[in-house]
């Protein structure tokens, strides 16, 4: 006699195969199981639906519903939550809403996760107003929001530029019966920081300390990065010092945030001191940390130390990435060692690095700066991929050398290819053409610029 244990065993087997991404075998097991008298249930089909959503797509997953109907098994809220999650994953808000309506038509009542997933889909698709309406509908239906609900809506509002609305919702938390956790605080602080509301972010940080929840490394790092980004270096250091005084473990990411900010602001001495402190603390370095250190040494002009560090990295079993070698090419250009920069770019090409666009841009900029325009033009012609910085660097270099007609021709090609040019480069070429007496070329270029703008609109 077949017992309920047989169905559980069938479900375990199918679940294991789905987790291993072996859908054909899972389907084969289901067919064999039915033939042997094992009775599938809603869990069996929900497991398949989740796997199809993850591995194939929503349409294929949705087709499993007809098979459920043939087997006399009714879908439940978990079934539709999986399908809505799949539509959300592929950023299909209309499909998510259709599935939600279909669930209601079948008489299946949505739960908190149905609403959470639908809200997340609207936020992800850049439709925050509709996401907020879903939240209001959820509250009106007396479905109690979870902490995840509030985290989704606060994060979504912050990312869509509605940090003030997110803060207002947070302030009304007692009214809504919501007790925020550390994730909610971190999400709101990050949103306020990214919207430039550093003062409010620091007030929330203070409230967090008074709420009984202890700020964690993520909290402090978020505020610290915001301080450095907005030029409030001293406040950033205050946060860093507070982290140290409270005994929080500083990892490589925290130190690199401080070091990168100091290097960017030109405070190389302080950045070097921070590097020494990081080494004293015995922080294990990853490639991101090494890239930050190499960048600092290049900015200091200590190229020999930077290359020595790269050698140590490679001896330790780590390989420098595209960014590592781009920093070195840029550093060599800035110190005027163009020959070494050319050699290092050739090394990148021979080593099979996937992308050397930024490194080549740095070299073109360096060549233009020292007046090697013909070499820069040859390098430009060889490039298979170019971006707006490639064109802008070369155009500035040509204008500086008063080669305005060459700049004009390159800029026309750039516009025909649908590439944007930085506004400063556009102005340099137009002004150069006008004052050099190339009025006809100036008019043609203005016309091409107007046409390019209208096409982009």
CB 252 within 8 A of CB 289: yes
One digit per residue, the tens of pLDDT, for the chain of length 457 reads 445 458 888 889 999 999 999 999 999 999 888 888 888 999 999 999 999 999 999 999 999 999 998 889 999 999 999 999 999 988 889 999 999 999 999 999 999 999 999 999 999 888 989 998 998 899 888 888 888 888 898 888 888 888 888 888 888 877 767 778 888 888 888 888 888 788 888 888 888 877 777 778 788 888 888 887 777 778 888 888 888 787 776 777 788 788 777 777 777 777 778 777 877 777 766 777 778 778 878 877 888 888 888 887 777 777 778 888 888 888 888 888 888 888 888 888 887 776 678 888 888 988 888 888 998 999 888 888 888 888 999 999 999 999 999 999 999 988 888 888 888 989 999 999 999 999 999 999 999 888 887 765 4
CB 66 within 8 A of CB 100: no
Nearest to 344 by CA among 365, 364, 359, 354: 359
Sequence-ordered list of residues with C-beta below 8 angstroms from that of 339, at least 6 positions apart, any chain = none
Chain centroid offset of residue 413 CA: 32
- Alpha-carbon torsion (32, 36, 41, 43), positive or negative: negative
The sign of the CA dihedral 121, 123, 127, 130 is positive
Identify the pLDDT of residue 96: 92
Kindly state the DSSP code that residue 107 receives in the 8-state scheme: T
Rounded CA-CA distance 392/424 in Å is: 8
- Cβ atoms of 80 and 118 within 8 Å: the answer is no
Tokens of 264: 């960017």
pLDDT at residue 233, as a whole number:
77
Per-residue pLDDT at 1: 41
For residue 418 the two structure tokens come to 């649908």
183: left (phi over 0), alpha (psi -120 to 50) or beta: alpha
Residue (of 239, 188, 192) closest to 217 by Cα position: 239
Q: What is d(CA 231, CA 94) in angstroms, rounded to the nearest whole number?
A: 42
Residue 118: the pLDDT is 93
Contacts of 433 (CB under 8 A, 6+ apart): 404, 408, 439, 441, 442, 445
pLDDT of res. 354: 65
The label of the residue with tokens 């925020």 reads 180
Cβ neighbours of 158 (radius 10 Å): 25
Residue 180 near residue 150 (C-beta atoms within 8 A):
yes
- Which residue ranges make up each domain of the chain? 386-457
Widest Cα–Cα separation across the chain: 98
Sequence-distant (6+) residues with CB within 8 A of 113 are 77, 81
| Contact indicator for 151, 187 with CB cutoff of 8 Å | yes
Cα separation values, 57 from 49, 61, 151, Å: 10, 6, 27
């Amino acid at each position: 006699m077949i017992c309920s244990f047989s169905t559980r065993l069938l479900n375990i087997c199918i679940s294991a195969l789905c987790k291993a991404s072996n859908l054909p075998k899972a389907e084969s097991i289901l067919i064999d199981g039915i033939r042997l008298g094992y009775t599938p249930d809603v869990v069996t089909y929900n497991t398949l639906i989740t796997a199809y959503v993850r591995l194939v797509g929503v349409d294929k997953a949705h087709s499993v519903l007809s098979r459920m109907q043939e087997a006399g098994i009714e879908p439940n809220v978990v079934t539709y939550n999986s399908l809505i999650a799949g539509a959300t994953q592929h950023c299909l808000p209309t499909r998510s809403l259709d599935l939600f309506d279909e669930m209601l038509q079948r008489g299946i009542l949505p739960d908190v996760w149905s609403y959470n997933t639908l809200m997340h889909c609207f936020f992800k698709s850049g439709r925050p107003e509709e996401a907020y309406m879903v939240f209001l509908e959820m509250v009106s239906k007396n479905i109690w929001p979870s902490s995840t609900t509030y985290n989704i809506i606060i994060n979504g509002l912050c990312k869509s530029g509605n940090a003030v609305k997110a803060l207002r919702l947070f302030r009304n938390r007692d009214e809504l019966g919501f007790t925020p956790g550390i994730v909610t605080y971190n999400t709101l602080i990050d949103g306020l920081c990214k919207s430039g509301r550093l003062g409010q972010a620091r007030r929330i940080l203070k409230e967090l300390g008074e709420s009984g929840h202890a700020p964690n490394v993520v909290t402090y790092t978020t505020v610290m990065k915001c301080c450095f980004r907005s030029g409030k270096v001293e406040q950033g250091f205050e946060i860093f010092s507070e982290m140290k005084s409270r005994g929080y473990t500083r990892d490589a990411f925290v130190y690199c945030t401080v070091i990168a900010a100091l290097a960017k602001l030109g405070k190389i001495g302080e950045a070097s001191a921070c590097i020494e402190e990081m080494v004293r603390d015995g922080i294990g370095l990853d490639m991101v940390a090494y890239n930050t250190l190499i960048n600092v040494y290049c900015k200091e002009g200590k190229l020999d130390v930077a290359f020595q560090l790269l050698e140590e990295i490679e001896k330790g079993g780590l390989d420098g990435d595209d960014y590592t070698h781009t920093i070195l090419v840029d550093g060599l250009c800035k110190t005027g060692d163009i020959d070494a920069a050319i050699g290092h770019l050739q090394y990148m090409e021979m080593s099979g690095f996937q992308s050397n666009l930024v490194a080549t841009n740095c070299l073109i900029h360096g060549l233009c700066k020292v007046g090697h325009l013909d070499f820069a033009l040859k390098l430009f012609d060889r490039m298979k991929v170019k971006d707006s910085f490639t064109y802008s660097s070369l155009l500035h270099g040509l204008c500086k050398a008063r080669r305005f007609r060459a700049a004009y021709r390159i800029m026309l090609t750039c516009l025909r290819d649908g590439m944007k040019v930085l506004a400063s480069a556009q102005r340099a070429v137009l002004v150069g053409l006008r004052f050099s007496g190339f009025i006809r070329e100036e008019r043609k270029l203005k016309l091409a610029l107007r046409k390019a703008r209208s096409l982009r609109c």
